């Protein structure tokens, strides 16, 4: 296109796309200037930018005057139970801290524990699809840890615990293809920082858990990851494999990532405990960049105490992640929650789907927690999602401009390829204004949490989940009951089950939000609430639904 090619008619058509209107004379003035602006954009697009290059503007969730909680040692809930002997299922579903304690006590070897999980994967995962690939060295790594233990040399608090790693977190020598066709066969040379920290703690990598293509949904190039409670529906996304694997007892815990719901959504669907820490707490070096101002890593497991331990092991900055912060993680994650003030958005709990969450609040009352009504300012928080779309489109601009986005199998209206293309039509001015609205949201969350210790809402209801993702606040999602439900859609995909598919008994979740960099009270209440609810969180033997 030459510099005279843009006409007033072109501009008028573009205005309809942007939702604005200008006069004829204004369009004539623009027509003469747009060609130079287009040339500048083309010059920039011609320069390849390494995906690891962070934006110059780095998001910091801390408002002026922020002070982290006083430094304190981390105290975890007790993890003590008799060793179940030959009951492999009981071993598989035990909390990771208990598995590690049994290994350290000599009741169990790392090799046997890894073999139990690998056997479960072989038998159950064909119906779930939680693992994209296994680590061929898993048993060797476990045997090496057993040899160290025989010498009295313990690697760390997760010595011998098998885990699964979301397949957009790099693992040296083990394919990490991000669930997406354009990256098939991608082989990292180095472990991500989080992987190195877990290896140092003694965890045994079983394999790569499935991820919705490029961090979206539960569909990847190998198929769809399914909810172990009802395999006629997806596991939700995008940490679908990590949540499903933890919930089905295929590993001690798994590592996930979240931009907007990718830890908490599959945790809620599958009946796992999902922790999204404060933004910046865990360095993301070696993790696929999707939205630099939103992306976070966090554990998916079966126990809030495990989530606290794993967060402690992962906590800390890295120089190659300019968003990461060195803020100590501590506090009493096993304390009695009596006296905690829990902010409740009444309208969210009035939703018909919130029955289990309402019951959970009554359990909180019985624990001595004080529910306090709070209100979120009625502003268009959902519009912040356009920030996410713009960042994601920038991260994967090479796919869009080269046409390689056509390689992605999923090409419907809500899938990434279309969202990347759609983002090209977002207004830069609107983007800056959305950033200002984001700061307004940070102020709103600060004010909400000024009079309470925590916030609570049923999963998937109201504006709080979206707002808190953009403000950087931590969230804990945990199962608090069950509900009967027919197969449900996830991330724009209908459940691929017959129209008359029966309702199944599936977990129902509650979400808790805490103050920035103050996760311990949230984890303490989560642990106490789980103990009080005392749910049997083992999915049906043989799995329910499709095979």
Q: Which phi and psi angles does 245 have, rounded to 5°? A: -65, -45
Residue 547's pLDDT is: 36
191: phi then psi, degrees, rounded to nearest 5: -75, 145
Neighbours of 407 (CB within 10 A): 16
Q: Please tell me which residue in 238, 323, 324, 490 is annotated as part of the active site.
A: 238
What ranges make up the beta strands (E) of 316-415? Answer: 331-332, 341-344, 370-373
Residue 223's pLDDT is: 96
Q: Please, are residues 370 and 341 in contact by the beta-carbon 8 Å criterion?
A: yes
- Quick one: which of 499, 493, 498, 487 has its CA closest to 412? 493
Contact 525/518 with Cβ under 8 angstroms?
no
State how far the Cα of 43 lies from the Cα of 45, in Å rounded to an integer: 6
The confidence score (pLDDT) of residue 265 equals 98
Cis bond before residue 200 (omega within 30° of 0): no
Q: How far is 50 from 30, CA to CA, in rounded Å?
A: 33
**Mapping DSSP to helix (H, G, I), strand (E, B) and coil, where does residue 11 land?**
helix
Counting every residue written for the chain, the total comes to 547
Which CA distances in Å does 212 have to 33, 115, 131, 238? 42, 27, 12, 5
Distance CA(142)–CA(253), nearest Å, equals 16
Cα–Cα distances (Å) from 434 to 17, 57, 261, in that order, read 18, 15, 20
DSSP 542: T
The yes-or-no answer on residue 238 being catalytic is: yes
CA 247 – CA 270 distance, rounded (Å):
6
Question: Which of 460, 422, 467, 465 minimizes the C-alpha distance to 444?
Answer: 467
225 close to 234: Cβ distance less than 8 angstroms: yes
What phi and psi values does residue 300 have, to the nearest 5 degrees? -120, 125
Which residues are bridge partners to 335 per DSSP? Answer: none
Sketch out the chain's domains with CATH numbers: 86-331+340-381+429-533 (3.90.1300.10)
Query: How many Å apart are CA 99 and CA 119, to the nearest integer?
Result: 17
| CA–CA dist 405, 391 (Å, integer) | 16
Residue 546: the pLDDT is 44
Helix (H) or strand (E) holding 100: helix 96-105
- Measured between its terminal Cα atoms, the distance across the chain in Å is 54
Q: At what angle do helices 304-314 and 96-105 cross, to 10 degrees?
A: 80
What SS3 state is found at 427?
coil
Instruction: Give every CB contact of residue 199 below 8 A, 6+ residues apart in sequence.
Output: 191, 205
Find tokens 């002070």 and name the residue.
Answer: 67
CB 116 within 8 A of CB 251: no
Closest CA to 289 of 195, 221, 217, 215: 215
Q: What is the pTM of this model?
A: 0.96
Flag residues of the chain having pLDDT under 70.
Answer: 1-4, 542, 544-547
Give the CA count within 13 Å in the CB-facing half-sphere of 21: 0
CB-CB contact of 259 with 290 (8 Å): yes
**What pLDDT, on a 0 to 100 scale, did the predictor assign at position 499?**
84
Task: Please tell me which residue in 236, 242, 262, 323 is annotated as part of the active site.
Answer: 262
3-class secondary structure, 55: coil
Q: Which two tokens stand for residue 290?
A: 């999707």
**Distance (Å, rounded) from C-alpha 183 to C-alpha 439?**
35
**Which burial class, exposed, middle or buried, applies to 362 when counting CB atoms under 10 A from its CB (0-12, 13-18, 19+)?**
exposed
How many CB atoms neighbour CB 54 within 10 A?
Answer: 14
Q: What are phi and psi of 297, to 5 degrees?
A: -105, 150
């Amino acid at each position: 296109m030459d510099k005279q090619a843009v006409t007033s008619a072109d501009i008028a058509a573009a205005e309809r796309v942007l939702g604005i209107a200008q006069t004829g004379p204004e369009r004539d003035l623009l027509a003469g200037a747009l060609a130079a602006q287009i040339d500048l954009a083309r010059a920039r697009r011609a320069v390849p930018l390494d995906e690891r290059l962070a934006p110059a503007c780095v998001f910091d969730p801390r408002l002026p005057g922020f002070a982290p909680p006083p430094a304190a040692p981390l105290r975890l809930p007790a993890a003590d139970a008799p060793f179940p002997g030959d009951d492999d299922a009981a071993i598989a579903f035990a909390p990771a801290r208990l598995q590690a304690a049994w290994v350290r006590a000599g009741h169990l070897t790392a090799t046997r524990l890894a073999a139990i999980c690998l056997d479960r994967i072989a038998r159950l995962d064909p119906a779930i699809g939680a693992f994209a690939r296994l680590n061929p060295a898993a048993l060797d790594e476990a045997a090496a840890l057993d040899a160290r233990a025989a010498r009295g040399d313990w690697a760390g608090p997760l010595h011998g615990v098998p885990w699964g790693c979301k397949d957009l977190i790099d693992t040296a020598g083990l394919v990490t293809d991000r669930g997406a066709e354009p990256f098939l066969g991608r082989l990292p040379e180095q472990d991500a920082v989080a992987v190195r920290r877990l290896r140092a703690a003694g965890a045994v990598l079983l394999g790569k858990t499935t991820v919705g293509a490029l961090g979206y949904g539960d569909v990847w190039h190998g198929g769809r990851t399914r909810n172990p409670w009802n395999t006629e529906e997806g596991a939700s996304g995008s940490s679908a494999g990590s949540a499903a694997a933890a919930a089905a007892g295929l590993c001690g815990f798994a590592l996930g990532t979240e931009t907007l719901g990718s830890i908490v959504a599959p945790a809620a669907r599958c009946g796992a405990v999902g922790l999204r820490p404060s933004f910046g707490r865990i360095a993301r070096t070696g993790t696929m960049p999707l939205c630099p101002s939103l992306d976070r890593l966090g554990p998916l497991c079966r126990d809030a105490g495990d989530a606290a331990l794993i967060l402690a092991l992962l906590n800390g900055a890295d120089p190659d992640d300019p968003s990461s912060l060195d803020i100590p993680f501590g506090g009493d994650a096993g304390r009695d929650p009596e006296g905690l003030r829990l902010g409740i958005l009444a309208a969210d709990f009035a939703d018909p789907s919130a029955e289990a969450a309402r019951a959970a609040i009554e359990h909180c009352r019985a624990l001595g927690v004080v529910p306090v009504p709070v209100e979120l300012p009625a502003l268009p928080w959902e519009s912040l999602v356009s920030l996410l779309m713009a960042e994601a489109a920038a991260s994967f601009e090479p796919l869009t401009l080269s046409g390689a986005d056509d390689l992605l199998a999923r090409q419907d209206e809500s899938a990434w390829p279309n969202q990347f293309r759609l983002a090209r039509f977002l207004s830069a001015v609107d983007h800056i204004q959305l950033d200002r609205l984001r700061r307004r949201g940070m102020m709103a969350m600060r004010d909400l949490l000024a009079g309470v210790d925590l916030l609570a809402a049923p999963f998937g209801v109201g504006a709080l989940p979206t707002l808190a993702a953009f403000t950087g606040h931590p969230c804990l999602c945990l199962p608090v009951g069950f509900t009967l439900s027919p197969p449900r859609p996830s991330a724009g995909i209908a459940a691929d089950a017959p129209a008359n598919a029966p309702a199944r008994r599936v977990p129902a979740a509650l979400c808790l939000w805490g103050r920035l960099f103050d996760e311990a009270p949230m984890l303490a209440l989560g642990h106490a609430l789980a103990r009080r609810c005392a749910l049997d969180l083992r999915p049906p033997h043989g799995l329910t639904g499709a095979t």
